[in-house]
């Protein structure tokens, strides 16, 4: 009798579980996250699904960059987009032009258990249209930081008694430090992706922004004295190259390898490489202690290139209200569990996570989290953002000028002419 009752209860439990699964709302999810980001996001998705038998995320990872955004645009256009997706905030202007995104109202935020005040101001501004309406919810702020090799800096004036970077508070300080390191025998005082592409853009835009530069004003490219500021930023980078302080034509992977091999004293790259160096150090494959800080103020004001991974809801036709509510539940849960995402090096956009004791104990993450107050996002324009014409202009004009193949003034003028033509 006892065994019969046990079988009855077990059968009821199984039927109940199957019934709950059958009634679960499926949320179709698209992202572009590979590598360490992809691993961490999958862990978050699995955790959400385990905690929510009534809502199940059905995730698909697509190719990063232009292919991803092209698929989003075409799919949403025929009402076949996902229910929720990751999005770069730098792509919001183009998405609004395409009509790909659904507005996220205050009522939506409330349904997700969130408010705009939960997030850093710069990220919320980048997630909004010119009309002030919100079209995505920021998940992180990912920016470039200055990595440093403590072994290479030993015996210099640039480490304090705790091994923290010090003494770099101007362009002159930084160039002098790199020059001394070169004289000391360091192969590459500073490494970054010098061949062009994202790395060169991020360094250029940081220097340009530290001068108060504005790439696009209204509908004009490099208006007023912004052209002179762009020229100066290029000349700074070209000066580093002429003094052999940065590598010639270094691809992204090569720039990272120079630092991880101990051949570079400094490395400017995204916070997403923090897990790379942590993992190498944990496996005793790094050979030196390292740190990372917000890119120092080298010019007139603190500023750092930044972007955000965010969650967006496509403007799908005939949307099921129950599915939208489920997607908002997913969104709110992800924000409140973003500590797991911080492990990828990113600064959570959800302020309560950054303020938590757990995040403050994360190093070097907590050290460079100050950059959230100085984050400068790509220009709000249809020609800017990830995989945009602005990035193409870097390859065509800025990178050649940095490597002495084109005068900086000519690079600025040609870039201005080309980009201006795209805004007409």
Same domain, 85 and 217: no
- Residue 261 is assigned to a structural domain of this protein: yes
Range of the structural domain that residue 48 is part of: 23-139+308-375
Give the pLDDT score at 259: 98
- Residue 381 is assigned to a structural domain of this protein: no
Residue with tokens 């304090």: 160
Q: What radius of gyration, in Å, describes the C-alpha atoms of the chain?
A: 24
Same domain, 262 and 405: yes
Same domain, 125 and 175: no
Same domain, 293 and 354: no
- Residue 103 is assigned to a structural domain of this protein: yes
- Residue 342 is assigned to a structural domain of this protein: yes
Using CA atoms, how far apart are residues 35 and 275, in angstroms rounded to an integer? 11
Domain count, the chain: 2
Same domain, 44 and 77: yes
Same domain, 174 and 117: no
Give the pLDDT of the chain (424 residues) as one tens digit per residue. Answer: 545 445 544 444 444 444 444 579 999 999 999 988 999 999 999 999 999 999 999 999 999 988 999 999 999 988 899 999 999 999 998 899 889 999 999 999 999 999 999 999 999 999 999 899 999 999 999 999 999 999 999 999 999 999 999 999 999 999 999 999 999 999 999 999 999 989 999 999 999 999 999 999 989 999 999 999 999 999 999 999 999 999 999 999 999 999 999 999 999 999 999 999 999 999 999 999 999 999 999 999 999 999 999 999 999 877 899 999 999 999 999 999 999 999 999 999 999 999 999 999 999 999 999 999 999 999 988 899 888 899 999 999 999 999 999 999 999 999 999 999 998 7
Same domain, 113 and 41: yes
HEC readout, 281-308:
HHCCCCCCCEEEEECCCCCCCCCEEEEC
Nearest CA among 364, 387, 386 for reference residue 377? 386
Give the pLDDT score at 3: 52
Same domain, 333 and 393: no
Q: At what angle do helices 35-51 and 321-336 cross, to 10 degrees?
A: 120
Nearest CA among 192, 401, 214 for reference residue 303? 214
- Residue 10 is assigned to a structural domain of this protein: no
Same domain, 262 and 162: yes
**What is the three-class DSSP state of 118?**
helix
- The CATH code of the domain that includes 42 is 3.40.190.10
| Residue 174 · residue 298 · CB < 8 Å | yes
Nearest CA among 409, 407, 404, 390 for reference residue 240? 404
Same domain, 52 and 128: yes
Using CA atoms, how far apart are residues 231 and 366, in angstroms rounded to an integer? 34
Same domain, 131 and 266: no
Structure tokens at 223: 């208006």
Task: Answer whether the bond into residue 364 is a cis peptide, omega within 30°.
Answer: yes
Same domain, 260 and 283: yes
Residue 123, Cβ density class (10 Å: 0-12 exposed, 13-18 middle, ≥19 buried): buried
Give the pLDDT score at 382: 87
């Amino acid at each position: 009798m006892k065994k019969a009752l046990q079988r009855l209860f077990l059968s009821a439990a199984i039927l109940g579980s199957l019934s709950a699964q059958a009634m679960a709302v499926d949320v179709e999810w698209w992202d572009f996250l590979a590598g360490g980001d992809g691993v961490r996001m999958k862990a978050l998705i699995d955790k959400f699904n385990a905690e929510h038998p009534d809502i199940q995320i059905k995730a698909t990872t697509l190719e990063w960059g232009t292919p991803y955004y092209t698929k989003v645009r075409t799919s949403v256009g025929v009402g076949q987009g996902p229910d929720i997706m990751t999005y770069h905030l730098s792509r919001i202007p183009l998405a609004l032009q395409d009509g790909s995104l659904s507005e996220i109202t205050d009522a939506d935020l409330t349904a997700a258990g969130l408010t705009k005040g939960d997030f850093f101001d710069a990220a919320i501004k980048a997630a909004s249209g010119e009309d002030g309406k919100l079209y995505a919810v920021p998940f992180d702020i990912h920016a470039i930081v200055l990595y440093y090799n403590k072994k290479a800096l030993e015996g210099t004036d640039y480490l304090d008694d705790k091994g923290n970077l010090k003494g770099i508070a101007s362009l002159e300080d930084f160039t002098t430090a790199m020059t001394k390191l070169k004289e000391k025998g360091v192969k590459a005082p500073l490494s970054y992706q010098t061949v062009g592409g994202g790395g060169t853009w991020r360094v250029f835009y940081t220097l340009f922004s530290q001068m108060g530069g504005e790439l696009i004003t209204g509908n004009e490219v490099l208006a007023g004295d912004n052209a002179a500021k762009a020229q100066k930023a290029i000349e700074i980078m070209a000066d580093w190259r002429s003094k052999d302080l940065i590598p010639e034509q270094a691809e992204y992977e090569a720039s990272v390898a120079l630092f991880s091999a101990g051949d570079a004293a400094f490395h400017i790259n995204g916070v997403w490489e923090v897990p790379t160096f942590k993992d190498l150090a944990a496996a005793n494959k790094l050979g030196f202690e390292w740190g990372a800080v917000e890119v120092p103020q080298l010019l007139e004001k603190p500023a750092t290139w930044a972007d955000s991974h965010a969650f967006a809801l496509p403007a799908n036709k005939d949307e099921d209200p129950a599915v939208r509510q489920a997607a908002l539940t997913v969104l709110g849960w992800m924000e409140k569990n973003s500590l797991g995402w911080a492990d990828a090096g990113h600064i959570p956009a959800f302020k309560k996570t950054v303020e938590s004791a757990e995040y403050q104990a994360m190093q070097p993450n907590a050290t460079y989290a100050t950059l959230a107050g100085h984050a400068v996002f790509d220009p709000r324009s249809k020609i800017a953002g990830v995989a945009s014409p602005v990035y193409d202009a870097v390859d065509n004009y800025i990178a050649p000028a940095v490597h002495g193949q084109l005068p900086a003034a000519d690079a600025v003028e040609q870039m201005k002419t080309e980009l201006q033509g795209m805004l007409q």
